[in-house]
Amino acid sequence: MSVPVLVAEASRRAERLGFTASCEDPAGPMLAVLAAAVPRNGRILELGTGSGVGTAWLVSGLTDRDDVTVTTVELDADLVKAVSEASWPSFVTFVEGDAGEVLPTLGRFDLIFADAVAGKWTGLELTLNALAPGAVLLVDDMSPALYPDPEHQAIVRRVERSLADDPRLISVRIPAGTHLTLATRRY
């Protein structure tokens, strides 16, 4: 997939801001593919906006659709300001706050990209509770080898086990890029 204009803009923003944690291939293009499959009037949530690269990939999958909403939550007020000043479709909402606090207030979603500390390394259950039946969850940065700290490696393994063993989910590990786990919440 070629790089959509919005993604290129967000990547330039990341460079300008010195933000180095944007999603990489294949996570980015996968977000576009998964967004395109969201059902009519569906809802998409991203935890951790960063500089907007993931948001831009999600939006790129929604060409010609205005029935879907995208909500993205970010703790860092400066990032929220920088990203939300750019031009986005009206169905994108930027929420400034701690995903751990905000998540229980947002309702259920058809696609969640869990890419912040909260809702992934802590409070995974909040994210699972926010998956509608049939919803898809993408979790990035799942390779323990990414983290020098053995405690964080243990957290990654615990999250991986939780996703694999949860009877509400069917999941697959994708050992590409920073390693992904893709899960569907069963009906």
Applying CB under 6 A, the residues found at the interface with ligand SAM are 21-23, 46, 48, 50, 53-54, 73-76, 79, 98-100, 115-118
| Crossing angle (nearest 10°) for helices 5-17 and 53-60 | 180
Q: Residue 15 contacts by C-beta under 8 Å, 6 or more apart in sequence?
A: none
At closest approach, how far in Å is the CB of 24 from ligand SAM?
A: 9
At closest approach, how far in Å is the CB of 180 from ligand SAM?
A: 12
Report the SS3 class of residue 47: strand
At closest approach, how far in Å is the CB of 46 from ligand SAM?
A: 6
At closest approach, how far in Å is the CB of 66 from ligand SAM?
A: 23
Q: What angle do CA 119, 125, 128 make, to 5 degrees?
A: 85
User: Based on CB atoms, which residue is closest to ligand SAM, 67 or 125?
Assistant: 125
At closest approach, how far in Å is the CB of 57 from ligand SAM?
A: 7
At closest approach, how far in Å is the CB of 106 from ligand SAM?
A: 12
User: Is residue 89 left, alpha or beta, with left meaning phi > 0 and alpha meaning psi from -120 to 50?
Assistant: beta
Q: Residue 78 contacts by C-beta under 8 Å, 6 or more apart in sequence?
A: none
User: Based on CB atoms, which residue is closest to ligand SAM, 47 or 163?
Assistant: 47
The Cβ of residue 47 has, within 10 Å, a number of other Cβ atoms equal to: 29
Alpha-carbon distances, residue 23 vs 41, 66, 132, 134, 167 (angstroms): 26, 24, 24, 24, 28
User: Based on CB atoms, which residue is closest to ligand SAM, 67 or 78?
Assistant: 78
- What residues does 45 pair with on adjacent strands? 71, 112
Nearest residue to ligand SAM by CB is 54
User: Based on CB atoms, which residue is closest to ligand SAM, 53 or 62?
Assistant: 53
User: Based on CB atoms, which residue is closest to ligand SAM, 34 or 186?
Assistant: 34
User: Based on CB atoms, which residue is closest to ligand SAM, 73 or 135?
Assistant: 73
